[in-house]
Amino acid sequence: MPRQLFLFDPPDRFVAGTVGQPGDRTFYLQATGGGRTVSVALEKVQVQVLADRLGQLLEEVRRRGVGEVPAGVPRELEDTAPLDAPVEEEFRVSTMGLAWDGEDDRVVVEALAPSQDEEAEVEPLSDAEEGPDALRVRISAQAARAFIKRAERVVAAGRPPCPLCALPLDPEGHVCPRQNGHRR
């Protein structure tokens, strides 16, 4: 079955966001442009890893001098708005790819759905016609910095960590392994 590639080059908006309350949130990547919005679900840790890796990629590009990478985020690129509604999940992300396009000075981010056929597994950032659905965005370094800033805010907005075990604290506490199973 041919795969569906949701391509935004560049998107009008590319953000990480959540739906739900801390402790019961679903995380999404959402790209908007050309009159359409695509939302893909992923885990909190995937959002954090994507933000971290984007930062590392931009630092490496800057260090090598192979592209123009500004240090800050222009005010007009800061995005604090909620996800565009309705949030309709296209797929759940299993694999992500990240690259620098030196010809256009763009960051390429790709999120892949799980593969139906493990033998026909497709590498991220591939233009293969068969394989899992994918969301691919091409953004400027400044837009990547804005994405990182928002993603870090979204991840940090969750439940506070337990000072003893670092597991998330619910409003009523939690069973803490460092307290031998007693509630904290």
Phi, psi of 132, rounded to the nearest 5 degrees? -75, 155
* pLDDT, position 92: 97
Residue 160 phi/psi, 5-degree rounding, is -70, 150
> What is the pLDDT, as a whole number, of residue 118?
61
* pLDDT at residue number 184: 58
pTM: 0.86
User: Residues 47-102: pLDDT tens digits?
Assistant: 999 999 999 999 999 998 887 787 888 888 889 999 999 999 999 999 999 999 99
Contact call for residues 176 and 184 (beta carbons, < 8 A)? yes
Supply the pLDDT for residue 181: 67
Contact (Cβ atoms closer than 8 angstroms) between residue 162 and residue 172? no
Question: Given the structure tokens 């679903």, which residue do they identify?
Answer: 26
In percent, the amount of the chain with pLDDT more than 70 equals 95
| Architecture of the CATH domain 5-159 | 2-Layer Sandwich (3.30)
By three-state DSSP, how is residue 158 classified?
coil
User: Domain locations in the chain?
Assistant: 5-159
Fill in the DSSP letter of residue 72.
S
State pLDDT tens for residues 116-130. Answer: 766 556 777 788 888
pLDDT of residue 158: 82
- With both helix axes pointing from N to C terminus, report the angle between 44-64 and 141-156 in degrees, rounded to the nearest 10: 150
Please provide the average confidence, as pLDDT, over all residues in the chain: 89
Dihedral-angle region of residue 76 (phi above 0 means left; psi in -120 to 50 means alpha; beta otherwise): alpha
Strand partners, 2: 130
